[in-house]
Amino acid sequence: MTGPGRPVALVTGASAGLGAEFARQLAALRYDIVAVARRRNRLEQLASELGDSHGVRVEVIAADLADIHAPRMIADQVAARGLEVDYLVNNAGSAGSELIEDRDWGAHASFLQLMMTSMAHLCHLFVPGMCERGHGRIINVASVAGRIAQARDTSYGPTKAYVVALSEALHLTCKHQGVNVCALCPGFTHTEFHEVADMLDLKAASPGFIWYDADVVVREGLAAVEKGKCVYVSGRIYRWIDPMLQSVFLRRLIQRLAAR
């Protein structure tokens, strides 16, 4: 059960990183939380933390969104607990393998389910209720990697480009019904992501000024969706670079240089 009169936020990938930080900041805003991730023990630790620090209720749902049945199961559990979702944060994700070199199609299919299909499915399940009630917020976590094509990024970046396109279309469709949708596009962010993806060497070799803390990314994302921004690039340096990446002339120049 949730507190009397409090709105409910559902956060996927809530066991660590940006997801856990979204849950913390939304709890501080007096949202009750539905925390979704694979690791139940992590979710239960988060629930205890948020209950103690903010006095909100946290419902835990252990689910793997790479499973095609997970979104429907999540929606059924939310309904069974008598909840209506007012705020949806689609954050669950992982680094992708290389589409051409990795010959295990099953792994690619699971990745695409996690990164794109599950997000679309959760929007399909929860956005109509928000529109009927005349209020809702959706943050779909994308990435700066989805803003420009890169050689050898044939999985992660393309899925994030879909997240941006989906969010833009949903926002245009739903904004007149009181529902704001935002694709949040972080750059390099201090989370467990790079450790899990075996990318710590890349992190160590890159300059510190391109890295942002998770609390900054989340705070900017929450503010952006409230302002009705359908795409928001987090981090000052990335907001400076992004218009150049979106220039047709510069995109073609970058692609020619990469081809050489």
Q: Which two tokens stand for residue 223?
A: 């503010």
Exactly one of 156, 162, 232, 238 is catalytic; which is it? 156
Rounded-to-integer distance, Cα 140 and Cα 29, Å: 19
> What are the backbone angles phi and psi of residue 228, rounded to the nearest 5°?
80, 25
C-alpha distances out from residue 248 to 152, 242, 257, Å = 21, 12, 14
DSSP letters spanning the chain = ---TT--EEEEESTTSHHHHHHHHHHHHTT-EEEEEES-HHHHHHHHHHHHHHH---EEEEE--TTSTTHHHHHHHHHHHTT---SEEEE----PPPPTTT---HHHHHHHHIIIIIHHHHHHHHHHHHHHHHT-EEEEEE--GGGGS--TT-SSHHHHHHHHHHHHHHHHHHHGGGTEEEEEEE--EEESSHHHHTT-HHHHHHS-GGGEEEHHHHHHHHHHHHHTT-SEEE-SHHHHHHHHHHH-HHHHHHHHHHHH-
- Does residue 156 carry a catalytic annotation? yes
- Hey, which residues are catalytic here? 156
